[in-house]
């Protein structure tokens, strides 16, 4: 109940903050004239491109006020991720761990989510309304741009719904006095947008489509939405729909699981860590610098690191103990996590050890040479599609048991890759 309570507080905090401002740009509605097209086709294309770097996608990689992305809050709330800075050095961490709003940090993050998501939604609404009237766009381009806008509008409303519950629905220009719509109404909009987007987005793998939204990405998110609707608080039985959407991705053959190589350094997880364009990636955010979270705070004093590091996101013992050290590869050294790093300095080889940190984002070149990376942050991977594809079977498995060749073939495949067969 405490997590429910803090989300309620987040909602109330944002509601108060927004009811006190008179600036229409901070409001969900934001009066705009959408009756005419963009002046040029390039203006429409630029507006669509901005959606890949703002709002919900950016929450997974863009650092906010205390130097961590919004999406990391869930890790702190769960108790499975810790911060070296502790309560004194990181008020956000303390607020999440104590489930408290005694300082303004959590409310700042809540306001950040609200403002950024609704600004992105406004761009989506403008694209949907204005693209059909924009010169020099083919019918195919018009359909594609509208599909992208619907995909990102759904993405942002999905994030808002999971963060705040009931929120205002804004789908066109109007006044800024909208009241909250019910959570069910918000999810109805999200589902409809994703269904329409999936009809017009390219039926291609994410990387092959230039790292842009695709039909498999829309269907994967749709499956995730249905699974979320099936749980608390809606508790609607949408498992069949989740499985159907996931099966469409599986049967398309556009994506695949990464396979393990002969040695740990070329495991599936290390392949994914180093290859942005692997077919397992269904949707990623590009432009993040999460490699900075893969080393401890003390690394800033080694004299070789090219970017700031802080140890702000590290697994707790409870999470590490969830991986069988003998049979589950994910818990092994330099797979999901690592506890040492090797580098050269003054013609010497130095090995630094530390408590486990995320290895998934580790980029040796960025940390020790360039200070920047071109790697993306995974939001949806093909392994997660199996969760939706096996939604119906998993309920039976939970009651009766099942293995790789039993009643849970989809999730069994992902577990088999990790060496964690049921």
Pairing status of strand 337-345 against strand 348-358: antiparallel
In order along its 422 residues, the chain shows pLDDT tens digits of 333 434 444 544 444 344 333 333 445 655 566 678 999 999 999 999 999 999 999 999 988 767 788 898 889 989 999 988 776 678 888 888 888 766 677 788 889 999 999 999 999 999 999 999 999 999 999 999 999 999 999 999 999 999 999 999 999 865 455 789 999 999 999 999 999 999 999 999 999 999 999 999 999 999 999 999 999 999 999 999 999 999 999 999 999 999 999 999 999 999 999 999 999 999 999 988 899 999 998 999 999 999 887 778 899 999 999 998 888 999 999 999 999 999 999 999 999 999 999 999 999 999 999 999 989 999 999 999 998 887 666 554 544 444 433 445 667 777 789 886 54
Residue-wise pLDDT for 134-162, tens only, equals 999 999 999 999 999 999 999 999 999 99
The Cβ of residue 27 has, within 10 Å, a number of other Cβ atoms equal to: 20
The Cβ of residue 392 has, within 10 Å, a number of other Cβ atoms equal to: 15
Contact (Cβ atoms closer than 8 angstroms) between residue 195 and residue 222:
yes
Angle separating helix axes 391-400 and 239-252, nearest 10 degrees: 120
Which residues make Cβ contacts (< 8 Å) with residue 300, sequence separation at least 6? 308, 309, 310
The Cβ of residue 129 has, within 10 Å, a number of other Cβ atoms equal to: 20
Concatenating the DSSP letter of every residue in 130-169 gives HGGG-TT--HHHHHHHHHHHHHHHHHHHHHHHHHHSSB--
Residues facing 357 on adjacent strands? 338
Contact (Cβ atoms closer than 8 angstroms) between residue 56 and residue 120:
yes
Contact (Cβ atoms closer than 8 angstroms) between residue 116 and residue 90:
no
Hey, which bits of 250-315 come out as E strands? 281-286, 314-315
The Cβ of residue 8 has, within 10 Å, a number of other Cβ atoms equal to: 12
Q: What pLDDT was estimated at residue 287? A: 82
Which tokens belong to 39? 């002046």
Distance CA 364, CA 341 (A): 9
**Which helix (H) or strand (E) is 381 found in, with range?**
strand 376-381
Distance CA 356, CA 319 (A): 11
Q: What pLDDT was estimated at residue 19? A: 39
Q: Nearest to residue 383, comparing CAs of 256, 263, 233?
A: 256
Q: What pLDDT was estimated at residue 405? A: 39
Which residues make Cβ contacts (< 8 Å) with residue 337, sequence separation at least 6? 315, 320, 331, 356, 357, 358, 359
Q: Which CATH number fits domain 2-200: 3.40.50.2020, 1.25.40.390, 3.40.50.880, 3.40.1350.10?
A: 1.25.40.390
List the chain domain ranges: 2-200
């Amino acid at each position: 109940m405490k997590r429910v309570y803090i989300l309620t507080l987040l909602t109330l905090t944002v509601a108060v903050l927004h009811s006190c401002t008179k600036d229409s740009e901070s409001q969900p509605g934001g009066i705009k004239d959408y009756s005419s097209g963009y002046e040029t086709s390039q203006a429409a294309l630029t507006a669509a491109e901005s959606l890949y770097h703002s709002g919900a996608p950016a929450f997974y990689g863009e650092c906010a006020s205390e130097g961590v992305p919004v999406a990391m809050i869930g890790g702190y709330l769960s108790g499975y991720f810790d911060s070296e800075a502790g309560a004194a050095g990181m008020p956000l961490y303390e607020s999440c761990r104590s489930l408290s709003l005694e300082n303004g940090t959590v409310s700042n993050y809540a306001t950040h989510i609200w403002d950024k998501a609704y600004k992105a939604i406004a761009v989506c609404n403008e694209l949907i309304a204005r693209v059909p009237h924009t010169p020099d766009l083919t019918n195919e381009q018009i359909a594609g741009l509208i599909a992208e806008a619907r995909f990102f509008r759904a993405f942002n409303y999905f994030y808002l719904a999971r963060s705040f519950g009931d929120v205002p629905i804004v789908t066109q220009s109007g006044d800024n006095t909208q009241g909250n719509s019910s959570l069910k109404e918000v999810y109805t909009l999200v589902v409809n947008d994703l269904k329409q987007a999936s009809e017009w987005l390219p039926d291609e793998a994410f990387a092959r489509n230039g790292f842009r939204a695709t039909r498999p990405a829309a269907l994967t998110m749709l499956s995730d939405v249905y699974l979320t609707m099936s749980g608390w608080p809606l508790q609607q039985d949408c498992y069949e729909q989740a499985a159907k959407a996931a099966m469409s991705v599986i049967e398309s053959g556009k994506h695949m699981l990464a396979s393990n190589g002969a040695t740990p350094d070329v495991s599936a997880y290390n392949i994914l860590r180093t290859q942005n364009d692997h077919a397992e990636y269904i949707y990623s955010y590009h432009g993040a610098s999460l490699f900075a979270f893969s080393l401890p705070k003390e690394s800033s004093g080694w004299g070789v690191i090219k970017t700031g590091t802080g140890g702000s996101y590290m697994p707790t013992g409870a999470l590490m103990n969830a991986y069988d050290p003998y049979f589950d590869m994910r818990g092994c050294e330099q797979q999901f996590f690592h506890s040492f790093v090797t580098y050269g300095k003054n013609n010497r080889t130095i090995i630094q050890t530390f408590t486990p940190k995320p290895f998934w984002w580790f980029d040796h070149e960025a940390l020790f040479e360039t200070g920047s990376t071109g790697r993306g942050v995974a939001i949806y991977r093909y392994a997660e599609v199996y969760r939706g594809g096996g939604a119906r079977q998993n309920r039976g498995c939970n009651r009766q048991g099942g293995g790789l060749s039993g009643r849970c073939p989809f999730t069994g495949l992902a577990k088999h890759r990790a060496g964690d067969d049921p």
